Structure 1
Amino acid sequence: MSKAMGETLGRLEAVIHDRLAAGEAEASYVASLAAKGRGKIAQKLGEEAVEAVIAAVSEDDPALIGEASDLVFHLSILLAERGLTWDAIAAELDRRHGTSGHTEKAARA
């Protein structure tokens, strides 16, 4: 990941954390989504994932970039709502680095 991407995710994570902490659903999309509960956040994440898949299959790169951004945004909300961070995701990816995907998947089974 580029340094810029890491900084972008860090800023996004901080903004989401602040908006969740403020809990002002009428003023913040993040807070309003969180107020609807984890299930609604997860549902929105799933919708964004499907939209990203559709954009990828249709070979529409600008749409895929937009949908991937929406996907990362909503995943960030879900992670924050669960008290998890992008650092935890990075640590898990680092742990898996150098391990065959087949081997890693078999170890989880």
Structure 2
Amino acid sequence: MDARLTADFWVRAYLARLGLADIPAYITRRGDASAGAVLVKCALLDGNAVAWQRSFDLMTGDRVWVQLTSGPEPEVDATIARQCRNDPDLWVIEIESRDGRTLLDEPGLSD
């Protein structure tokens, strides 16, 4: 997420882009509106899920989306719950996509 954008603004823009792509998405946890980090969970609708978080690429200094965890959905949910306990400002967005499409690799979301 760009440091100039609030978390709330980024989340609303992301949900709008997902909606335009017909990818169902929901805010399952609201974090700090101005500076909260964002996790994206993609439920694959087969009992499995993948969770993504933003991280710094130490080689380039860029912010990139990296996979936090993947596997059976209850295990992914447990990892997300631990992250939420450690960071009360955390946002969680859940996507439903059989093919795992998140749009996180698209311009404006990947930068």
TM bracket, shorter-chain basis: under 0.3
User: Higher Cα Rg: structure 1 or 2?
Assistant: 1
> Which has the larger share of helix?
1
Higher RCO, Cα 8 Å, sep 6+: 2
TM-score by structure 2 length? 0.26
> Which has the larger share of strand?
2
TM-score by structure 1 length? 0.27
